[in-house]
Amino acid sequence: MPVNLKVPEAAALAAIAGVELAVVEAGIRKANRRDVLLMRLAEGSSVAGVFTRNRFCAAPVTVCREHIAGSAGIRAMVVNTGNANAGTGETGLADARATCAAVAARLGIDAAQVLPFSTGVIMETLPMDRLLRGVEQAAQALGKANWLDAAHAIMTTDTLPKAASRTLRIGGQPVTLTGIAKGAGMIRPNMATMLGFIATDARVSPHVLKAMASRAADASFNSITIDGDTSTNDSFVVAATGQSAAPAITGINTPDGKTFARALDELAIELAQAIVRDGEGATKFITVRVEAGASIDECRKVAYAIGHSPLVKTAFFASDPNLGRILAAVGYAGIDDLDQGAIDLHLDDVLVVKNGGRHPAYREEDGQRIMKQQEITIRVVLNRGAAAATIWTCDLSHDYVSINADYRS
């Protein structure tokens, strides 16, 4: 059961001028399931992407990187679920390129103007006949799908679609952003596939959009994962069609740039949190905030150590305030000169540990009360600097094991 995750009405997701969507059932892995999404972008769109740093990256990621670095201008994106096209060697690369070529032929553009994405099982070859048939159908159906359909089409073990919109004004003119995301393997999202797409009608130059996408990814999708480690297929792409009447955004630090980047960050964070809320087997949504560290990096290290500890996560699943497990995680997070005697630990508004030891006023009932909530904030104060970092995670339940033990069946 997702934790406080609501599916938006289709009508609440704003269409983006310059973006046409198509969704089809191609039978990639299972029948009767929307599993191919095609997105066509208006000419002149800016596109920026942030991709997995996994050295075993999937074939489509390699092709995305090439095409985004090229000068052809991205005009289409094609996503399949059911098969990740990862660990597939040269065959996989050829398949990803053939998919781009098929989309290009149908849309009258160049293959280098197409970005391919795949998510699903690793180490199996794409069923190219079915995928290419799906691409053909999708090209004929462009414009018929809405963003909620699109969010559905990219789901794998997700139980709910993830999508949201934002509207703002730039130079007195309305600008709209709509995004979708998928991802569910949550104990270590670096190993599941996360896909995020945000489209906007704002006019943003490619280099500015690149800086903004990178910042938004750090604040959102990279704050639900291990420091920089990501799956074979993780991709986050922002496309700006420039179809709005608003003036062009020319820098990340101009007033308009700041306004737009803030909306982009917020939307990305909402999507990233939606992934955690729908984490495999999740029953709790946990915010881990580490404060008063010497650097953001060390705060993130501590936050990740807590957020990935199976012992911490199972304690939260059980609503058991076995909070010493959090201290143990702080201790092995990799800060060599950490002074345990300086550390405070709060669970929501309850002070649990003061100066590295159980606070005399802490009562187990208070910890128990917080642990029973569906949303909990763990706050660790290192008392050695002024830096802070926040990540989001979920608990580890029986259902996580069931889902991952049965994924392919």
Least distance CB 302 / a second copy (angstroms): 10
Q: Does 303 bind a second copy (CB under 8 A)?
A: no
Binding piece for a second copy, criterion CB under 8 A, among 31-39, 140-148, 173-181, 321-329: 321-329
Q: Does 238 bind a second copy (CB under 8 A)?
A: no
Residues 74 to 133 in contact with a second copy, rule: CB under 8 A: 84, 86-92, 121-125
Looking at the chain, how many residues does it have? 409
Least distance CB 77 / a second copy (angstroms): 23
Q: Does 289 bind a second copy (CB under 8 A)?
A: no
Q: Are 154 and 189 in contact (CB under 8 A)?
A: no
Q: Does 27 bind a second copy (CB under 8 A)?
A: no
Q: Are 111 and 231 in contact (CB under 8 A)?
A: no
State which residue, 37 or 187, has the beta carbon closest to a second copy.
187
In sequence order, the 6+-apart residues with CB closer than 8 A to the CB of 161 are 7, 148, 151, 152, 155, 180
Catalytic residue among 52, 156, 176, 193: 193
The residue within the footprint of a second copy, chosen from 4, 250, 340, 374 (CB under 8 A), is 340
Contact string (CB under 8 A) for a second copy, positions 343-362, x = contact: x---------x-xxxx----
Q: Does 172 bind a second copy (CB under 8 A)?
A: no
Binding piece for a second copy, criterion CB under 8 A, among 5-13, 68-76, 293-301, 335-343: 335-343
Q: Does 250 bind a second copy (CB under 8 A)?
A: no
Q: Are 238 and 217 in contact (CB under 8 A)?
A: no
Query: For residues 386, 295, 237 and 403, what is the CA-based torsion angle, rounded to 10 degrees?
Result: -100
Q: Give the CA angle between residues 83, 22, 181 to the nearest 5°.
A: 55
Q: Which residues are paired to 80 by β-bridges?
A: 36, 118
Least distance CB 102 / a second copy (angstroms): 22
> Angle of helix 128-140 relative to helix 89-107, nearest 10 degrees?
20
Binding piece for a second copy, criterion CB under 8 A, among 27-35, 137-145, 173-181, 306-314: 306-314
Residue 133 burial class via C-beta count within 10 angstroms: exposed 0-12, middle 13-18, buried 19 and up: middle
Q: Give the CA angle between residues 193, 195, 197 to the nearest 5°.
A: 175
Residue 314 falls in the annotated catalytic set: no
Question: How many residues bind to a second copy according to rule CB under 8 A?
Answer: 71
Q: Which residues are catalytic?
A: 193
